[in-house]
Amino acid sequence: NADAALYYAKDEGRNNYQFYTTTLGAKNPELLTLEKSLRYALERQELMVYYQPRIKIATGEITGMEALLRWQHPEMGLVAPNVFIPLAEQSGLIISIGEWVLRTACSQNQIWQQAGLPPLTIAVNLSPKQFRQPKLLETVAEILAETGLEAQFLELEITETTAIEDLDFTRTVLQGLQEMGVHISIDDFGTGHSSLSRLQLLPLHNLKIDKSFIQELTTDIKVAHIVKAIVTLARSLGLRLTAEGVEKPEELDFLKSIHCEDVQGFLFHKPLSAEKATEVLKSGRIMSVQR
């Protein structure tokens, strides 16, 4: 993480520039400056939650939204989560930031439901440190009570790597969440080199196949076989499957042919501001997934 490239992501043609720097450790002055301003980002209201629709292939409906954090820095423009989430993680800021994301996302979902839109699942990412904080269950329960959102409409995403690091701990926390009625999704599945037979010990609802697989789906036959095997296994374990990072119609065709349930990707929608996401939901939710 410390060596991650620093860059400013592009965002719908706004104030963009990019630069890369390598060997970013704790001593890198740019990162230190960035970390300092991250401390104030929440109170200065520079953080925003964007929403990316998840679409059910069989019907074309939007059945969920993933909350994705954005940081609109006053001088640097839009800073990508791959840059500042690791900073937030190292500095401990992730706890307060993560709580804010969870509250914002749950409250947005409740707003959509109260506007009479068909119920959606809101998926919120949890970093390793968030997942390991002792008060996680308490915080989730508080936020659900505060926002009035029913637990079944919240899905928490942890990466495969986070999940398998300490399976006993993971199982205990996930069981607590399951008892509350919250759904659990394994993010970036396939990158953690675990096996589904280990994950089946956990109370899960959904697997998200990492986008690196989807990107090679139509160019590498071996990857296509792996994805097909994952879909089959997930089904036999009673898990729903989401393919993330779907960009091409050919990828969708293949996923359809192997009966993958859900898709997420630029082919359908990029992550959207709350305002734009609301427009999309209100404009009717059927995507043309049949070609």
Residues that bind ligand C2E (CB under 6 A): 52, 67-69, 80-82, 85, 98, 101, 125-127, 130, 157, 187-188, 211, 244-247, 264-266, 271
Cβ 127 to Mg ion shortest distance, Å: 10
Residue 1 burial (CB < 10 Å; 0-12/13-18/19+)?
exposed
Of 37 and 129, the one with the shorter C-beta distance to Mg ion is 129
Of 82 and 236, the one with the shorter C-beta distance to ligand C2E is 82
Of 211 and 285, the one with the shorter C-beta distance to ligand C2E is 211
Selection from 143, 128, 35, 123 nearest residue 79 by Cα: 35
What number of other Cβ atoms are within 10 A of residue 284's Cβ? 9
d(CA 137, CA 114): 25
Cβ 197 to ligand C2E shortest distance, Å: 23
Of 157 and 261, the one with the shorter C-beta distance to Mg ion is 157
What number of other Cβ atoms are within 10 A of residue 11's Cβ? 17
Q: Is 193 left (phi over 0), alpha (psi -120 to 50) or beta?
A: left
Extended strands (E) in 128-209: 154-159, 183-189, 206-209
Selection from 1, 29, 191, 186 nearest residue 88 by Cα: 1
Of 37 and 132, the one with the shorter C-beta distance to Mg ion is 132
What number of other Cβ atoms are within 10 A of residue 13's Cβ? 6
At a CB cut-off of 8 Å and minimum separation 6, what does 116 contact? none
Cβ 70 to Mg ion shortest distance, Å: 14
Selection from 178, 99, 171, 172 nearest residue 139 by Cα: 99
Q: Which pairing describes strands 47-56 and 121-125: parallel, antiparallel, or unpaired?
A: unpaired
Cβ 234 to Mg ion shortest distance, Å: 15
From Mg ion, ligand C2E, none, interface partner of 110 (C-beta below 5 to 8 A by class)? none
d(CA 103, CA 97): 10
Of 128 and 176, the one with the shorter C-beta distance to ligand C2E is 128
From ligand C2E, Mg ion, none, interface partner of 127 (C-beta below 5 to 8 A by class)? ligand C2E
Cβ 83 to ligand C2E shortest distance, Å: 9
Of 121 and 264, the one with the shorter C-beta distance to ligand C2E is 264
What number of other Cβ atoms are within 10 A of residue 247's Cβ? 14
From Mg ion, ligand C2E, none, interface partner of 101 (C-beta below 5 to 8 A by class)? ligand C2E
The contact set with Mg ion (CB under 5 A) reads: 125, 157, 187-188
Cβ 116 to ligand C2E shortest distance, Å: 27
